[in-house]
A and B are shown apart, each in its own frame.
Chain A
Amino acid sequence: MQRRVASGSSEQWVQCQKCKKILFKPDFERALRVCIHCGHHHRLRARERIAITLDPDTFVEQDAELRSDDPLRFPDYPDKLMRAQQTTGEFEAVITGTGKLGGSEVVIGVMDFAFMGGSMGSVVGEKIMRCFLRGADEYLPVILFCASGGARMQEGMLSLMQMAKTTAGVEKLQRAGLPYLAVFTDPTMAGVLASFASLADVIIAEPGALVGFAGQRVAAQASSGKPPTNFQTAEFQTEHGMVDLIVPRAQIRPTLLYLLEMFGGAG
């Protein structure tokens, strides 16, 4: 440790957002941004997630040409979109496509919280809908990594309708008898949790992820008792039967492989 401090530049060190301990960046990256001290799972960007999930160089992005409009001429929305695009290098809050997992083709969608809080507007809803339709049309399982604060306020009612639209997608895939696996990452909230996310055949969550319906303050105000300390965590949701299993980041890929093998969707 001492030696590394002496030899490394400051860019080689990061601080855990939870336990605040200093971590050697190459180790931190190797651990997939999980703190080796406290196990805190730091958020990943969508393309980083795809890279650690799929077989190398198999991802083919789809529907990347879709862009958000500003149908309501909502205050500052175009600026917010532009800023999100500049800071993230992405055009929207979900990256979707196809790729291979253990040699088998799957449809994958990964939400990116860095893009406007992973909020679901018309483009996110459409891209997720197309994941389900692609799965049903091409007989492929669908895997979605969720990370979202909920519906995108700036598209008003149109965003609300995406909850129904994506649910229709789940229904189509279900009818086709194909597996749909969801992974709840930090955070999976509100309009996303209350639509397609909660309808997966199997729901995996990352340890410590925030998973819930309303904001914590709103929830506390609406309740008589004090919320439990683990309220709206992946662990809380698992205790209450809303999540199948909590899986540490490094084990997610093998877990998905196992599930797909069991459902006959891969392997």
Chain B
Amino acid sequence: MTIFDFEKPINELESAIQELRQLSAEKGLDRSREIAELETQRERLLKQIFAHLRPWDKVLLARHPKRPYTMDYIRLMCEQFVELHGDRLGFDDPAIVGGLAKLGGYKLVVVGQQKGRDLKERQKRNFAMAKPEGYRKAMRLFQLAEKFRLPVLTLVDTPAADPGVESESRGISEAIARSMLTMFQLTVPTVAVVIGEGGSGGAIALAVANRVLMLEHAIYSVIPPEGCAAIIWRDASRAPEAADALQLTADDALRLGLIDMVISEPLGAAHRDPQTTALSLRSAILQQFHELSALTPEQLYQHRHERFRRMGTFLSTP
């Protein structure tokens, strides 16, 4: 597993604790006092490190190979889920999953990008870089939701839409644009959560919702910091500086008025405790759907339009 710089001291402590535990088990020695001491140290260190995360650390956390993915959250949050497949135009894109879910009394359509856990699955899911058929499957499910009056939940986690020749040939731009258009047309409640990487057009294609939330260590960006650094300084290795400049963290998004809520992650980030993260995610989502249930179909449509109408910062000279 990849160990990130800022996580290194924590991981060292964690392996020390692990070793001590093993030692006490094998040799029958009581090392519980030492273990407890190290646990306290670990906790203190986590707090210290996570209190001072830079934007670039968040980028690394959002891309962390152990971070829970869409299907993990669906499994942990939903009472039931049946996955549906295909765009009915010849393809089924594994980079986007979707289906019918039961969540705390709600019947929902859930759609999200899905990363792979091991190399084989990563390749199969194209690193969650969806092709046109992925967005077209999403649109099909959105329309299904509209027809049967099911609220829509989207979980966003993608580095970008697939930029390859094949995707270009099948109209990746049009698919992204039309996915947004379709989401604007809905008259059912819609909630989007950026759970990991909110990578530019590929992300916003699924994030045109009545409420948009972000997990604490998720990012949302118009361009990857590496690409940004390559353009400004002709040096992709200056990505950490670009991450500062782009203001791509959940707190930034909230301050800029682009999202409605930041969902806290457990100390040490989602991958240290997926269960607790899923519980927080679940209650935040239920709260949003509960609040949105007060709106009529027409109001939901208008509310979504007004929400995005306001976005942007500019001056008006007299």
B104 within 8 A of partner (CB): no
Task: Tell me, rounded to whole Å, the shortest Cβ–Cβ distance linking A202 to chain B.
Answer: 14
Q: Which listed segment binds B: A5-13, A14-22, A33-41, A63-71?
A: A63-71
B165 within 8 A of partner (CB): yes
A263 within 8 A of partner (CB): no
Residues on B with C-beta less than 8 A from A197 are 173, 177
Contact A198 to B177, CB < 8 A, known contacts A153-B222, A219-B164: yes
CB of B204 within 8 A of CB of A160, answer yes
Q: Which listed segment binds A: B27-35, B72-80, B250-258?
A: B250-258
Residues on A with C-beta less than 8 A from B232 are 75-76
B200 within 8 A of partner (CB): yes
Contact-residue bracket for chain A: 35 or more
Kindly identify which residue among A122, A222, A227 contacts B312, using a CB–CB cutoff of 8 Å: A122
For the complex, give the distance between the alpha carbons of A242 and B176 in Å: 13
Task: Tell me, rounded to whole Å, the shortest Cβ–Cβ distance linking A161 to chain B.
Answer: 4
Taken residue by residue from 172 to 201, chain B's Cβ proximity to chain A (1 for < 8 Å, 0 otherwise) reads as: 111011101100110000000000000011
Residue of A nearest to B184 (CB): A171
Residue of A nearest to B160 (CB): A214
Taken residue by residue from 144 to 167, chain A's Cβ proximity to chain B (1 for < 8 Å, 0 otherwise) reads as: 000000010101111111111101
Taken residue by residue from 193 to 220, chain B's Cβ proximity to chain A (1 for < 8 Å, 0 otherwise) reads as: 0000000110011011000000000001
For the complex, give the distance between the alpha carbons of A126 and B310 in Å: 9
Interface size on B, residues (CB 8 A): 55
Kindly identify which residue among A156, A158, A168 contacts B305, using a CB–CB cutoff of 8 Å: A168
Residue of A nearest to B129 (CB): A222
Interface members, chain B 101-132 (any A CB < 8 Å): 129
Task: Tell me, rounded to whole Å, the shortest Cβ–Cβ distance linking B235 to chain A.
Answer: 13
For the complex, give the distance between the alpha carbons of A121 and B170 in Å: 27
CB of A242 within 8 A of CB of B312, answer no
For the complex, give the distance between the alpha carbons of A197 and B171 in Å: 12
CB of B258 within 8 A of CB of A157, answer yes
Task: Tell me, rounded to whole Å, the shortest Cβ–Cβ distance linking B174 to chain A.
Answer: 4
B275 within 8 A of partner (CB): no
Kindly identify which residue among B162, B222, B253, B308 contacts A159, using a CB–CB cutoff of 8 Å: B222
CB of B178 within 8 A of CB of A199, answer yes
B19 within 8 A of partner (CB): no
For the complex, give the distance between the alpha carbons of A66 and B248 in Å: 25
CB of B316 within 8 A of CB of A165, answer no
Contact A157 to B253, CB < 8 A, known contacts A69-B313, A75-B232: yes
Task: Tell me, rounded to whole Å, the shortest Cβ–Cβ distance linking A65 to chain B.
Answer: 5
CB of B245 within 8 A of CB of A68, answer no
B236 within 8 A of partner (CB): no
Q: Which of B173, B304, B311 has the most CB of A within 10 A?
A: B173
Kindly identify which residue among A71, A191, A222 contacts B256, using a CB–CB cutoff of 8 Å: A71
Residue of A nearest to B177 (CB): A198
B167 within 8 A of partner (CB): yes
CB of B173 within 8 A of CB of A171, answer no
CB of A240 within 8 A of CB of B177, answer no
CB of B180 within 8 A of CB of A66, answer no
CB of B173 within 8 A of CB of A161, answer no
B297 within 8 A of partner (CB): no
For the complex, give the distance between the alpha carbons of A222 and B172 in Å: 14
Interface members, chain A 122-155 (any B CB < 8 Å): 122-123, 125-126, 129, 151, 153, 155
For the complex, give the distance between the alpha carbons of A197 and B181 in Å: 12
A2 within 8 A of partner (CB): no
A231 within 8 A of partner (CB): yes
CB of A66 within 8 A of CB of B315, answer yes
Interface pairs (19), CB distance under 8 Å: A67-B314, A122-B311, A123-B314, A126-B314, A156-B247, A157-B222, A157-B256, A161-B204, A161-B258, A165-B308, A167-B181, A194-B173, A194-B176, A195-B176, A195-B180, A197-B173, A213-B168, A213-B201, A219-B165
A residues adjacent to B (C-beta < 8 A): 65-69, 71-72, 74-76, 121-123, 125-126, 129, 151, 153, 155-165, 167-168, 170-172, 190-191, 193-199, 212-215, 218-220, 222-223, 225, 227-228, 231-232, 240-242
Q: Contacts A65-B316, A161-B258 known; list 4 others, CB within 8 Å.
A: A129-B309, A163-B177, A219-B164, A223-B164
